[in-house]
Amino acid sequence: MGLILRHMERVFGLGVVPLAAGTVGLLILLKMIQRLRHKQDLQDKVVVITGASSGLGKECARVFHAAGARLILCGREQKRLQEVVEELRNQSSGKIQTYSPCTVTFDLSNTSLVSSAAEEILKCHGHVDVLINNAGISYRGNILDTHVSVQRDVMETNYFGPVALTQAILPSMVDRRSGHIVVISSVQGKISIPYRSAYSASKHATQAYFDCLRAEVGRFGLQVSVISPGYIRTNLSINAVTGDGSKYGVMDKTTAKGSDPVDVARAVLKAVCHQQKDVVLAGLLPTAAIYLRALWPALYFRLMGSRAIKEQRVKEE
């Protein structure tokens, strides 16, 4: 080994260790330059966040506010949004200039309300730089006992709402040849698990639509990011609907043990800054399941079949 090193030293005229260290250093520097070149600064950017009254949306509001963005917060209740605004107004930031957010209230599940809401959103600052489609509702239920109207309602909020809002904001982004559209999907937008039909279907549709959008608007210089988190510690399961449309109202163990919404919000900020196109934010097991579904579907279907039987047994006990 020593002999080889000494031989190489003679060949290169300098030590191998400094040479290797120099190469690694150069690679790191190149990577940093590349990152900086693509890094989008959020100072003064107009950022719209739907579902900003709670959970992940509220954390995104905190994180983007602290980065100096001019926020437009959306939700169904003015009072809850106003509480977030108050809290952010109190949040002082050192060097970064921060702005007091605007609010726009509307129900995403009613597409006839979305276009007038989009007009109101565009009036706040005249344009939108980043649209974060975060609002959503979950579902728990057996397909046999689920009304088709519930399947449709979840689709209205999780799929048609973001689609209508995106299409209402899109022309102004195309005109300016600038804009970034983010959607919070889920690991369940990549794989379905039993007793989540409506939710998983709405997130699969979301993934498909925004992948298509990315391809179509790339030529205008627009960015599209699909974020697929695993469980996050929010009120999502409490707010979920069941097969008859009533509220589920339970904090599931999986949700309670999920990621900290602050970490997920930071990952959303990173995805925007670094223009990441598709981000899965999940542990080893859900990530492996996504690959399994693609590479060995038969095994995936068998595993989900046993999981469905096991969960049904637990419910009946």
Ligand X SMILES: *[C@@H]1O[C@H](CO)[C@@H](O)[C@H](O)[C@H]1NC(C)=O
Ligand Y SMILES: NC(=O)c1ccc[n+]([C@@H]2O[C@H](COP(=O)([O-])OP(=O)(O)OC[C@H]3O[C@@H](n4cnc5c(N)ncnc54)[C@H](OP(=O)(O)O)[C@@H]3O)[C@@H](O)[C@H]2O)c1
> Which of the residues are catalytic?
199
Residue among 161 and 243 whose Cβ is closer to ligand Y: 161
Q: Which of 64, 159, 160, 231 binds ligand Y (CB under 6 A)?
A: 231
Would you say 97 or 112 has its CB closer to ligand X?
A: 112
87, interface contact from ligand X, ligand Y, none, CB < 5-8 Å by kind: ligand X
Q: Is 56 in the site for ligand Y (CB under 6 A)?
A: yes
Interface with ligand X (CB under 6 A): 54-55, 58, 86-87, 90, 110, 112-113, 235, 238
Q: How many residues bind ligand Y (CB under 6 A)?
A: 30
In the bound state with ligand Y, the residue whose beta carbon lies nearer, of 146 and 158, is 158
Q: Which of 80, 127, 176, 266 binds ligand Y (CB under 6 A)?
A: 80
CB 272 within 8 A of CB 225: yes
Binding mask 289-308 for ligand Y (x = CB under 6 A): --------------------
Minimum distance of ligand Y from residue 293's CB (angstroms): 17
Find the binder of ligand Y among 51, 141, 179, 286 (CB under 6 A).
51
Q: DSSP of the chain, one letter per residue?
A: -HHHHHHHHHHHSS-HHHHHHHHHHHHHHHHHHHHHHHPPP-TT-EEEEETTTSHHHHHHHHHHHHTT-EEEEEES-HHHHHHHHHHHHH---SSS---PPEEEE--TT-HHHHHHHHHHHHHHHSS-SEEEE-----EE--GGG--HHHHHHHHIIIIIHHHHHHHHHHHHHHHHT--EEEEE--GGGTS--TT-HHHHHHHHHHHHHHHHHHHHHGGGT-EEEEEEE--BSSSTTTT-EETTS-B-----HHHHTSB-HHHHHHHHHHHHHTT-SEEEE--HHHHHHHHHHHH-HHHHHHHHHHHHHHHHHHHH-
Judged by beta carbon, residue 239 or residue 287, the one nearer ligand Y is: 239
> Which window, 82-90, 105-113, 211-219, 272-280, contacts ligand Y (CB under 6 A)?
105-113
C-beta of residue 256 within 8 angstroms of C-beta of residue 233: yes
String marking each residue 149-168 x if it binds ligand Y according to CB under 6 A: --------x-----------
Q: Which does 184 bind (CB under 5 to 8 A by kind): ligand Y, ligand X, none?
A: ligand Y
Rounded to the nearest 5 degrees, what angle is found at the Cα of 215, between the Cα atoms of 211 and 219? 150
CB of 175 to ligand X, least distance (A): 27
Query: Which CB atom, from 192 or from 239, has the smaller least distance to ligand Y?
Result: 239
Residues that bind ligand Y (CB under 6 A): 50-51, 53-57, 75-77, 80, 107-109, 134-137, 157, 184, 186, 229, 231-232, 234-236, 239, 255, 258
